[in-house]
């Protein structure tokens, strides 16, 4: 069975060809009739054990634009609150004829568990597992960077570009998927955050590691990708308090004003405005935040198309 669980399911050429397919999907999304018949008669389930706005909506729109039937499951309000296990939940949904599962779960490895189990036959797409990975977010970020900085006609990789990922790296599956994918595509990636929130695995992967935000920002990165401070995953005191966090690690208006006007500002959302990012940065012409959201639909159409319509492995 074909799955997308991690960026390590891709190699450089397959990642580029997925991005190129996403560009074709953007063209579909710009038409009045935003629909392809590719997945007519197929059924996709969104299995969300954790909250989501962007990711769930965009997977749903992506599947619908390919003409699939879509069912949505959210743990809140389901039999999970009566104690039903992951295995029983998946088997119950598959018994109704679902062929693809889009899984978001608070446990790292949940999507892998389903994909590698004997009790599920579905194609599985990881839509964010704990602090581990969020591969479609990595892909939509790569597409956004490629188009905003290399031009919409570019079909290549990200070589020559420098990306800074800033903030709560430890709890961020977005950071992990981006580190893997942006480097696979030839970009140089720096990370910066308080030492308590910069884990060893990210330090090993990154090309540059900083523990001072102003020092990192003065190194002329092409992209500054801010991360949400993920309070819901913090089980101990990683930072003294929010005021200090925003003072030291926030992309404030004054920090933003020091950047070159060519620096691209990104954030996967949801944003904590005034904490890790100021409205001056988020709402500026340099911000690609809404492009990221729009590109999410196209990238997810490309992934669903490859896995379900072409039934080809992504590698
Ligand atoms: C991210 C996530 O859920 O991992 N959001 C998203 O999918 N766009 C980032 C976050 O929650 O901070």
Ligand 1 pocket mutation pick from 106, 234, 269 by most atoms within 8 angstroms of CB: 269
For residue 154, report the distance from its CA to the centre of ligand 1, in Å.
Answer: 27
User: For position 83, what pLDDT does the model report?
Assistant: 75
Q: Which atom, in ligand 1's list, is nearest to the CA of 54?
A: 8
For residue 174, report the distance from its CA to the centre of ligand 1, in Å.
Answer: 7
| pLDDT tens for each residue of 269-299 | 999 999 999 999 999 999 999 999 999 999 9
| pLDDT tens for each residue of 159-185 | 999 999 999 999 999 999 999 999 999
Q: Which atom, in ligand 1's list, is nearest to the CA of 228?
A: 12
Ligand 1 pocket mutation pick from 128, 132, 141, 177 by most atoms within 8 angstroms of CB: 128
The pLDDT of residue 1 is above 60: no
Cα-only R_g, the chain: 19
Distance of CA 183 to the CA centre of its chain: 15
Q: What is the mean pLDDT of the chain?
A: 95
Q: Which atom, in ligand 1's list, is nearest to the CA of 230?
A: 12
User: For position 68, what pLDDT does the model report?
Assistant: 98
Residues near ligand 1 (Cβ within 6 A)? 54-55, 128, 134, 137, 173-174, 228, 230, 268-269
Six-digit token pair at 141? 């970020």
Model confidence, pTM:
0.96
Secondary structure of the chain in HEC code, one letter for each residue: CCCECCHHHCCHHHHHHHHHHHHHHHHHHCCCCCCCCCCCCCEEEEEECCCCCHHHHHHHHHHHHCCCEEEEEECCCCHHHHCCCHHHHHHHHHCCCCCEEEEEECCCCHHHHHHCCCCCCCEEEEEEECCCECHHHHHHHHHHHHHHHHCCCCCCCCCCCEEEEECCCCCCHHHHHHHHHHHHCCCEEEEECCHHHCCHHHHHHCCEEECCHHHHHCCCCCEEEECCCCHHHCCCCCCCCHHHHHHHHCECHHHHHHCCCCCEEECCCCCCECCCECHHHHCCCCECHHHHHHHHHHHHHHHHHHHHHCCCCCC
Ligand 1 pocket mutation pick from 55, 60, 165, 176 by most atoms within 8 angstroms of CB: 55
- Walk me through the domains of the chain, giving residue ranges and CATH numbers: 7-134+296-309 (3.40.50.1370), 135-292 (3.40.50.1370)
| pLDDT tens for each residue of 204-259 | 999 999 999 999 999 999 999 999 988 887 777 788 888 999 999 999 999 999 99
Q: Which atom, in ligand 1's list, is nearest to the CA of 128?
A: 4
């Amino acid at each position: 069975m074909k799955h997308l669980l991690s960026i390590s399911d891709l190699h450089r050429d397959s990642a580029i060809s997925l991005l190129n397919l996403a560009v074709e999907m953007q063209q579909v999304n710009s038409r009045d009739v935003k629909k392809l018949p590719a997945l007519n008669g197929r059924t996709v389930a969104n299995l969300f054990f954790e909250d989501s706005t962007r990711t769930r909506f965009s997977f749903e729109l992506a599947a619908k634009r390919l003409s699939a039937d879509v069912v949505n499951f959210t743990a809140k309000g389901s039999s999970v609150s009566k104690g039903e296990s992951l295995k029983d939940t998946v088997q119950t949904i598959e018994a109704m004829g679902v062929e693809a599962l889009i899984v978001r779960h608070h446990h790292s490895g949940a999507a892998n568990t389903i994909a590698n189990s004997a009790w599920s036959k579905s194609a599985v797409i990881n839509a964010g597992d704990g602090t581990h990975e969020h591969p479609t977010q990595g892909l939509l970020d790569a597409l956004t960077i490629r188009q905003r900085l290399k031009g919409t006609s570019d079909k290549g990789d990200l070589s020559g570009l420098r990306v800074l990922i800033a903030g709560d790296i430890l709890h961020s599956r977005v950071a992990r998927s981006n580190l893997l994918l942006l480097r696979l595509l030839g970009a140089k990636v720096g990370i910066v955050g308080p030492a308590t929130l910069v884990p060893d695995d990210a330090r090993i992967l990154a090309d540059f590691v900083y523990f001072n935000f102003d020092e990192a920002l003065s190194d002329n990165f092409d992209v500054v990708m801010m991360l949400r401070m993920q309070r819901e995953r913090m089980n101990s005191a990683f930072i003294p308090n929010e005021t200090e966090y925003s003072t030291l690690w926030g992309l404030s208006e004054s920090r933003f004003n020091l950047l070159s006007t060519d620096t691209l500002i990104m954030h996967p959302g949801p944003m904590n405005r005034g904490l890790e990012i100021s409205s001056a940065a988020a709402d500026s012409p340099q911000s690609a935040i809404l492009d990221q959201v729009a590109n999410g639909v196209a990238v997810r159409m490309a992934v669903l198309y490859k896995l379900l319509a072409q039934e080809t492995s992504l590698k």
